[in-house]
Structure 1
Amino acid sequence: MLNEINWPEEYLPGFTDNFASNEIIVPGITAEEVFENLLDTSIWPTYYDNVSDVYFYNHDGPVLKENTRFRFNTFGFPVEARVIEFEKPADGRPGRLAWHGWAEGDEDHRLDVVHAWLIEDMPKGRVRILTQESQKGKPAKDLFNTHPDTMNMGHQDWVKGLAATVLKAHKK
């Protein structure tokens, strides 16, 4: 049975204004390798072109840790964020990373999200990379109505880019 994201009650998908879910299953890499590459924000722009200007408030970065407070730009929003779940993959348990993110503003511009990752080893040398984001606010409602679905397309690029980065390291 596959694991699921641990959602804070107020961000439970189906009860928010927008939700994105993206995953791939890749052979030949491990959850530990993928997780370590995900934590290193200095390489995010090398495999995901929708992120920039990552800044850390409470430590030097660039590696995410438990309770990290940081900010970055994505989807045209300056996002403030704090890591709210952090568990490295180990002993058959999946890696879990989640942050609460928000874009400041009035009622028309305020955006609140939880962006979560679950990375788990699977039988036959495969790894599952799942990312989901649950969003609240008028910008989330607007994103829900975009065609094409820029949020799901962008996050799929992130998942695929992360996997490609780890696979590329194996070929060196």
Structure 2
Amino acid sequence: MNEIFWPQGYLPGTTENFASNEVIVAGLSAADVWPFLVNAPLWPTYYANSADIRFYDGKGPILENGVRFYFSTFGFPVEAQVTEYQAPVAGQPGRVAWHGWAGENDTRLDVHHAWLIEDLSGGRVRILTQETQKGKPAEELAKARPNPMINGHQEWLDGLVEAARKN
């Protein structure tokens, strides 16, 4: 199976917080799931922890390399920019990632949130989402129990699968 590509400074284990969630489900393909992930205004329809999605520079609603956007999640107003975008094609997984940031100085949070969607044998799809975080808020999130990042991202994955199944 494939893995996430990490930019310098965001390798898991070297930042203040890391979350990894994955599902493998039968009966869906990467092509079924992809449109629900990359059309950011759809997120709130299946993931209650996302809201206020806006794009800059006349871009959107589909994510693509370099696109700047805004959304709120986990109580943070997140500015973001897509740093990786590759739609799934035969033999190649879909990849989308963004750098997100919120706050300033001691309240500054920087994240790299990446998604990988790949077809597996037997009519299955694997959806992996991982996020590394830097900054004081990331330290606090890492200590929280239950872990809000793990639980929140699992809700995102479950909602994404349900949305694709309904289509």
Give the TM-score, by structure 2 length: 0.98
Q: Distance in 2 between matches of 1:164 and 1:62?
A: 21
In structure 2, what is the equivalent of residue 126 of structure 1?
A: 124
Is contact 2:85–2:96 with CA below 8 Å preserved after alignment?
A: yes
Q: How many residues align?
A: 167
- Do 1:59 and 1:68's aligned partners in 2 also have CA atoms closer than 8 Å? no
Q: Which residue in the other structure is 1:20 paired with?
A: 19
SS of residue matched to 2:69 = strand
User: Cα distance, 1:104 vs. partner?
Assistant: 2.6
SS at match of 2:158: helix
Quick check: 2:59–2:67 contact (8 Å CA) kept in 1?
A: no
Distance in 1, matches of 2:67 and 2:92, equals 22
Give the secondary structure class of the aligned counterpart of 1:55. strand
Structure 1 residue runs without a partner (length 5+)? none
d(CA) in 2 for partners of 1:30, 1:66: 23
- Cα RMSD of the aligned pairs, angstroms, is 0.8
Q: Which piece of structure 1 moves more, 160-169 or 115-124?
A: 160-169
Give the Cα separation in 2 of the matches to 1:59 and 1:85: 19
Q: Give the whole-Å Cα distance in 2 for the aligned partners of 1:159 and 1:81.
A: 20
Q: Which residue of 2 aligns with 1:168?
A: 166
Q: Distance in 1 between matches of 2:130 and 2:58?
A: 26
Contact 2:114 2:131 (C-alpha < 8 Å) held by counterparts: yes
Gaps of 5+ in 2: none
Cα contact 1:33–1:166 (8 A) shared by 2: yes
TM-score by length of 1: 0.95
1:95 Cα deviation after fit: 0.2
Amino acid at match of 2:128: L
Among all aligned residue pairs of Structure 1 and Structure 2, give the percentage whose two residues are the same amino acid. Answer: 57
| Pairing 1:112-123 to 2, within 5 Å after superposition | 112-123=110-121
